[in-house]
Amino acid sequence: PLVTSKELFKKAYEGGYAIGAFNVNNMEIIQGIVEAAKEENSPLILQVSAGARKYARPVYLKKLVEAAVEDTGLPVVLHLDHGESFEICKACIDDGFTSVMIDGSKLPFEENITLTKKVVDYAHEHGVVVEAELGRIGGVEDNISVGEREATFTDPDQALEFVERTGVDSLAIAIGTSHGAYKFKGEPYLDFKRLEEIMKRLPGFPLVLHGASTVLPEFVEACNKYGGSIHSAKGVPEEMLRKAASLGICKINIDTDLRLAMTAMIRKYLAENPSEFDPRKYLGAAREAIKEMVKHKIRNVLGSSNKL
């Protein structure tokens, strides 16, 4: 069935592991992820961005996720990633999503609270849980200095006030991660002291880590070996993710690693089989690579194997 993350987060928090939230855009990505979760007997969040809804069209992703649930019998959380307005959150809630994110992180504090509260009220009336964001998680194009960056990290006192005043179910925090394949110019750094300060103020409350791809070197190298050009790519080291999961991070968001795995395998397959033109061949290879990559994350990074 489609489930909310309420109980899953509670167990994850107590067990010191995290649940992977994987972005989905098409059938092969969905199948690769759910097959991995099934084999690992792991809880799972599938998340859909506004861009994914635009690309695939809402009804397709909804039905594909329902098909995955029917096929595997797994409990799956269907989550809206980075909803920017009340309207898109409402549309997803009305569509049967079990979880939505309202991302008011670009707004001033009070406006973020007002918007988040409005979504929480509507969602809770419909049995849906809400994730919000406080602090700014960097994006691909953001090119900001360390000082500027510090100012965008989540303030622990504000986090407590935000959660109390909105009634939100989980909170995405900024402690140094960013979206995309270029997360760190120098050495990877996450502000674990800040995470602990936030946790002290919100004991037992589920926190979310965005921008948490590792940017696996094997896939970057394969992309480049077979005609790609991806340079200075750097992600969050696995041990940092393990540490975050063992503390209070209950949800770890992964999209970039799926994109890299898929692209690497399609490039490799086509380069090695130049006369092949059956999409099932190269998409099948990509699906298999996604499955193996997700199994590795579940087992060795998230720690969510056999937690169902």
Q: Which residues are catalytic?
A: 81
- Which pair of tokens denotes residue 152? 């965008």
Is residue 268 a contact point for ligand G3H (CB under 6 A)? no
> With respect to Zn ion, which residue has the nearer C-beta, 33 or 285?
33
Residue nearest to Zn ion (CB): 210
Which residue shows structure tokens 């919100």?
202
Is residue 53 a contact point for ligand 13P (CB under 6 A)? no
Among 12, 52, 134, 249, binds ligand G3H (CB under 6 A): 52
Among 28, 35, 81, 191, binds ligand 13P (CB under 6 A): 81
Is residue 93 a contact point for ligand 13P (CB under 6 A)? no
Give the number of other Cβ atoms within 10 Å of residue 294's Cβ. Answer: 28
- Which of ligand G3H, Zn ion, ligand 13P, none interacts with 254 (beta carbon under 5 to 8 A by kind)? ligand 13P
Q: What is residue 76's three-state secondary structure?
A: strand
User: How far is Cα 191 from Cα 282, in angstroms, rounded to an integer?
Assistant: 40
Give the number of other Cβ atoms within 10 Å of residue 273's Cβ. Answer: 13
The CA-based angle 182-261-239, given to 5 degrees, is 60
Is residue 23 a contact point for ligand 13P (CB under 6 A)? yes
Is residue 23 a contact point for ligand G3H (CB under 6 A)? yes
Measured from the CB of residue 255, what is the shortest distance to ligand G3H in angstroms? Answer: 3
Q: Which stretch binds ligand 13P (CB under 6 A): 31-39, 108-116, 208-216, 284-292?
A: 208-216
Give me the residues that bind Zn ion (CB under 5 A), please: 210
Among 18, 254, 266, 283, binds ligand 13P (CB under 6 A): 254
List the end-to-end C-alpha distance of the chain, in Å, as a whole number. 13
- Residue 16 CB contacts under 8 Å (≥ 6 apart), including other chains: 245, 246, 247, 303
Is residue 31 a contact point for ligand 13P (CB under 6 A)? no
> With respect to ligand 13P, which residue has the nearer C-beta, 31 or 178?
178
User: How far is Cα 72 from Cα 60, in angstroms, rounded to an integer?
Assistant: 18
User: How far is Cα 162 from Cα 109, in angstroms, rounded to an integer?
Assistant: 8
Measured from the CB of residue 29, what is the shortest distance to ligand G3H in angstroms? Answer: 11
Is residue 158 a contact point for ligand G3H (CB under 6 A)? no
Reported in sequence order, the residue ranges of 138-244 that DSSP labels E, i.e. its strands, are: 170-173, 207-209
- For 174-196, give one letter per residue: b (16+ CB within 10 A) or e: bbbbbbbbbbbeeeeebbeebbe
Among 62, 79, 82, 295, binds ligand G3H (CB under 6 A): 82
Is residue 26 a contact point for ligand G3H (CB under 6 A)? no
Interface contacts to ligand 13P, rule CB under 6 A: 23, 81-82, 179-180, 210-213, 253-257
